[in-house]
Structure 1
Amino acid sequence: MEAAEPVGQQGFDAIMTELGPWPGQGIPVAVAVSGGADSMALAILARRWRADVIALVVDHGLRAESRTEAEQTVARLSMLGIQARLLTLEGLERGSRMAERARRMRYQALFAACRDLGALDLLVAHHAGDQAETVMMRGRASSGQDGLAGMALALPVTDVRLVRPLLAFTKSALYATVRAAGVTWVEDPSNANLRTERARARQVLRQDAVLGGSLFAQARQAGQARMAQDRDAALWLAQHARFHPGGWVVLPAGLAPPRILSALIGVVGGRDYPPRRDAVAGLVHAPRAATLAGVVIVPWRDGQWLLAREEAAMAPCVSAGAGAVWDRRFVLRARHVPKDMYIGAAGPVARWWPAGQGRSGWPACVLRTLPALWHDGRVMAVPHMGLCMHDGIADAFFVNQPSHPAFSGALFGRRTALPVGAGQ
């Protein structure tokens, strides 16, 4: 690895100022710390920038040494004057897509800890090399211009903002930062496992610094374009789309521009990845009833269209409890839920709609997909329709909270030039 100067505190502080505003004293800023050099450098810089930072250390349990390494990391952070909390992942099993599942569980644990602490922001240590690797992998996957924007500097995620203040700095600069601070770190051997796509991309970029710089610059340019497109998309949605809290969307006669329609299908279907671009383009060219990526597209009144969840693709029932998530979209809010209740799709309307009460006006294909509280094989409540047949859950309701919004408002570029010494 090439020699580099440590990250300058003044340059880091300038980035944090641009990524503000930040909460006042008493509301901490959380830092995700794996124990590696990158995240330890971030913790050091963040602690110098602000006193009330709290490090979150996740023990993923995938290696025998992980617990010891996590505890060592907490001890090292304590010596730096940084308060740390150790989080343990439970239920992570080996098998297919393990890295993806581990990543999802890790972020779920980090976000939950932020909510518990009252932290509004979570800092993560992705750097310029990570950005170049991401753009390379997305380019190979033909992910389109949005994907080539790489990782955002700041990304609102539900009720926490994910912030990546180190994207302008090289890994060698971060190593130099921890060495200058006299801090040791953990080296995860899985980072060098060439069976993973990211490790292979890292190997290529290690041998071609010019390519890494080119990919980083490409990400900045694509990011600026993506922010402009997102602003236009948000304006189009405000003018033309109607969102129902039950999880469906009403669109005008021409559906929506392809990029917007793709994003909406992802939100309604509760999926992380967009549908095939050619399939979306075909629908926009010739609007018609269709099923795509867990979403049904059906004609509605006055030439309008409904985007609704595909009933056959919905998640199975889950146990009911305050905060329970069903179908990756709906969160149950309630002071108390009686035992043995569960959450599932409302199902055939005739089985739960009160006799003699006029219908809502919405088609059965969307009413069947509403989240409902069940007990002993019977629907007890469909809160979105104001129906409740059990006194113990009269206050229960569901919040439509997909894993990501149609357009996140992510920040992909800074307003000023990169700081002196930033890695490319």
Structure 2
Amino acid sequence: MPLARLMKNCWKNFQMRLLVCAKKYGLRSKVPNVDTTADSVKEAERPLDMHELSTAFKVLRPLNRLILAVSGGADSLALMILCHEWLIENSLSLSLYVASVDHGLRPEAKDECALVAELAAQRGLPHATLTWRNNVSASNIQARARDARYQLLSDYAKSLGCRSIAVAHHRDDQAETFIMRLLRGSGVTGLGAMRVKQPVGDLTLVRPLLDIPKSRLLASLRARDLQWIEDPSNHSDAYMRVRMRKLLPQLAQEGGDASRLAATARRLQRADAALDGVASVFFLRHMRPEPGCALSMDPADFMSLEEEFRLRLLRMMLVHVAGPAYPPREEKLIAIDAALLAMRETKIFDKRTMGGCCFDWSDGRVWIYRELGRNPRTILMQNNDPTDWHGLYTIHRPEVDQQLEVKLRDLGADGRALLTEAGLRFPAKATMCGSIPSGLIEALPSIWWENRPQYVIDWPEVASYAGVRVEIEKKNTRSVPNRGPM
């Protein structure tokens, strides 16, 4: 029999046997490139069920109080509605508070806040409208408005004794953030994008919807016949985020949909945590704590590390010394790193500033201490309310005459001069080094009344001289073992 006919007969027999097996065992052939668009659309239009809500909101279970930041847009409105339903369904004792921010940038904002207040009242949730008093003509208004929003929410949270604020960032937001940071050349930390829980000073920003697509949030609102507010700026190509949002469908056609981009961000967060763990070990072993939350280090120890770990250490230094804040761009970290490495050849290091910190050189060590800045901060201490100092300390007003005008401020060169005139010198035992940068001493928090410093943190002789006691709580920005006298 010719070979061609033999192969044809074998193929027919194989097909017949395959059909018999399929019929007998209920097998279905797996066809590649099946169009699943209809299934995807159907899934995107499905409202979130209670099981999915329980998975998303489990991060909120340990909390006693929570502020929901709600603007009236679809995302934040879904956060309020769904979180409240989940709370009722599970009979939880978590107290919810709703807050809306009126930036004063659009005339409609006042009515939008009123709408949120009405929807919150229908569910028995307390609502507050927080108003920003701003200079609309100022430059970089969007960034300033964002910073003001978080400051207003933070102040409101503290007034309620609340330590957590929930925002409505979702999976699509995460994908957009990842792309934006990729285009800006971010490293591992930046490409990890947004975290479900993010410390912001004394508070924690929580993003329970971060793994949920926006389409599911919209479907959940439609299922409840709820309307939301559309902010025109969300459709303006003037903003990079909007342009990235319009790019997502094209990336999805190449396999880079929001789900995969968000998954990549999660994997980078995992790598980021592992790298931070290694850097933390070095930080604890080699960074010496100094007065006023300052640090010092032997530059040779620092130079022995790989670049990635050196840059991470610089970030950790900034948080420890200047308090929790948005970290500087990696380019600035690289510039400081290069200056430190150059010391191997030049043996010289010129004082530099970055992220609210000074990097200085004294007694063979690199010192990192808080920068005074052009406009040193002065706070009037009233009643017995605790005062936050740059996210580093909580300082209580001393028990002195309430009629006295008590101020909390940097010691400054003028305060140091007054103490010198009184015969007080900064104690040598406060540091293991032979000398200490004058800028560090002048940046120490101090309490003033009657036009002179009466108390200086980490300078106990001043308090003894003035006969003053002050209650202070040092915040745990990063745990550093005490390797010498403070």
Q: Does TM, normalized by the shorter one, top 0.5? A: yes
Q: Measure the CA separation in 1 of the matches of 2:475 and 2:135.
A: 26
Shift of 1:344: 3.6
Q: Give 2:45's aligned residue.
A: 4
1:100 is matched with which residue? Answer: 143
Deviation, 1:252, is: 3.4
Give, in angstroms, the shift of residue 132 of structure 1: 0.9
CA positional deviation for 1:5: 1.2
Match of residue 328 from structure 2: 274
Q: CA deviation at 1:203?
A: 1.8
Please, which runs of 5 or more residues in structure 1 have no aligned partner?
408-424
Q: What is the alpha-carbon distance in structure 2 between the residues aligned to residue 367 and residue 123 of structure 1?
A: 39
Q: Which residue of 1 aligns with 2:263?
A: 217
1:314-393 map, 5 Å: 315-322=375-382, 332-334=395-397, 338-339=404-405, 341=407, 343-347=409-413, 349-353=416-420, 355-357=422-424, 359-361=426-428, 363=436, 364-374=438-448, 378-386=452-460, 387-388=462-463
- The residue that corresponds to 1:259 in the other structure is 311
Preserved CA contact (<8 Å) 2:340 2:349: no
TM-score by length of 1: 0.82
Maintained 8 Å contact 1:258/1:280: no
Shift of 1:207: 4.4
1:296 corresponds to: 358
Residues 252 and 305 of structure 1 are in contact (CA less than 8 Å); yes or no, is this contact kept in structure 2?
Answer: yes
Deviations 1:395-418 (A, max 9, x none): 55666669xx569xxxxxxxxxxx
CA RMSD between the two structures: 3.2
Residue identity opposite 1:384 in structure 2 = D
Alignment of 1:149-188 (within 5 A): 149-188=192-231
The letter of the residue matching 1:107 is Y
State the structure with bigger RCO (CA 8 A, min sep 6), 1 or 2. 1
CA distance in 2, matches of 1:297, 1:255: 16
> Please, which of 62, 82, 88 is the counterpart of residue 22 of structure 1?
62
Instruction: Name the SS for the 2:368 alignment partner.
Output: strand
What TM-score, normalized to structure 2?
0.72
Give the AA of the match of 2:135.
E
Residue 397 to residue 197, structure 1, CA distance change in 2 (3 Å): farther
After TM superposition, list the pairs within 5 Å mapping 1:231-270 onto structure 2.
231-244=277-290, 246-254=292-300, 256=302, 257-267=309-319, 268-269=321-322
Aligned-partner SS, 2:300: coil
> In 1, Cα distance between the equivalents of 2:249 and 2:410?
49
Asked if the contact 2:292–2:457 (Cα under 8 Å) also holds between the matched residues in 1, the reply is no
- C-alpha change, 1:328 and 1:122, in structure 2 (3 Å) is closer
CA distance in 1, matches of 2:140, 2:450: 35
Which amino acid letter does the alignment assign opposite residue 29 of structure 1? L
AA in 2 matched with 1:211: G
Query: CA offsets, 1:240-280, max 9 Å, x none?
Result: 22334613112234354412332145333566332624313
Instruction: Write the deviation string for residues 103-150 of structure 1: whole angstroms up to 9, x where unpaired.
Output: 112112222222222333222110011111111111121121110000
On the 8 A contact 1:318/1:326 being kept in 2, the answer is no
3-state SS in 2 of match to 1:29: strand
Aligned to 1:44: 81
Secondary structure of 1:50 counterpart: helix
Q: Which moved more, 1:223-232 or 1:266-275?
A: 266-275
Amino acid corresponding to residue 15 of structure 1 in structure 2: A
Q: Distance in 1 between matches of 2:251 and 2:60?
A: 35
- Contact map agreement 2:70 2:99 (CA 8 A) in 1: yes
Q: CA deviation at 1:394?
A: 3.8
Aligned residue pairs, count: 397
Residues of 1 paired with 2:178 and 2:393: CA distance?
Answer: 32
Equivalent residue letter for 2:418: R
Shift of the 333–244 alpha-carbon distance from structure 1 to 2, 3 Å rule, reads farther
Separation in structure 2 between the aligned mates of residue 374 and residue 367 of structure 1, nearest angstrom = 16
How far the C-alpha of 1:316 sits from its partner, in A, is 2.7
- What corresponds to 2:34 in structure 1? none
CA distance in 1, matches of 2:110, 2:193: 31
Q: 1:121 to 1:297 in 2, by over 3 A?
A: closer
1:308 alignment partner in structure 2: 369
Deviation at 1:168, TM superposition (A): 1.0
Pair 334,88 (structure 1): closer, same or farther in 2 beyond 3 Å: same
DSSP-derived class of the 1:116 partner: helix
- Residue 173 of structure 1 deviates from its aligned partner by 0.8
Q: Structure 1: which amino acid aligns with 2:311? A: R
Return the offset for 1:64. Answer: 0.5
Structure ranking higher in helix proportion:
2
Q: Show CA shifts across 1:46-69 (max 9, x none).
A: 112224322222222221011111
User: Would the aligned equivalents of 1:372 and 1:380 in 2 still touch at CA under 8 Å?
Assistant: yes
- Give secondary structure in 1 for the equivalent of 2:126: strand
Amino acid at match of 2:409: I
Gaps of 5+ in 2: 1-39, 89-94, 303-308, 480-486
Name the structure 2 match of 1:410.
Answer: none
Which 10-residue stretch deviates more, 198-207 or 277-286? 277-286
**Structure 1 equivalent of residue 29 of structure 2:** none
Measured in 1, the distance between the counterparts of 2:243 and 2:464 equals: 57
Q: Tell me if 1:88 matches 2:149.
A: no
Q: Using the alignment, how far apart are the partners of 1:199 and 1:159 within structure 2? A: 31
Distance 1:44 1:310, change over 3 A: closer
The structure with the larger Rg is 2
CA distance in 1, matches of 2:235, 2:451: 51
* Distance in 2 between residues matched to 1:340 and 1:231, nearest whole Å: 42
Distance in 1, matches of 2:281 and 2:266, equals 23
Percent identity between the aligned chains? 27
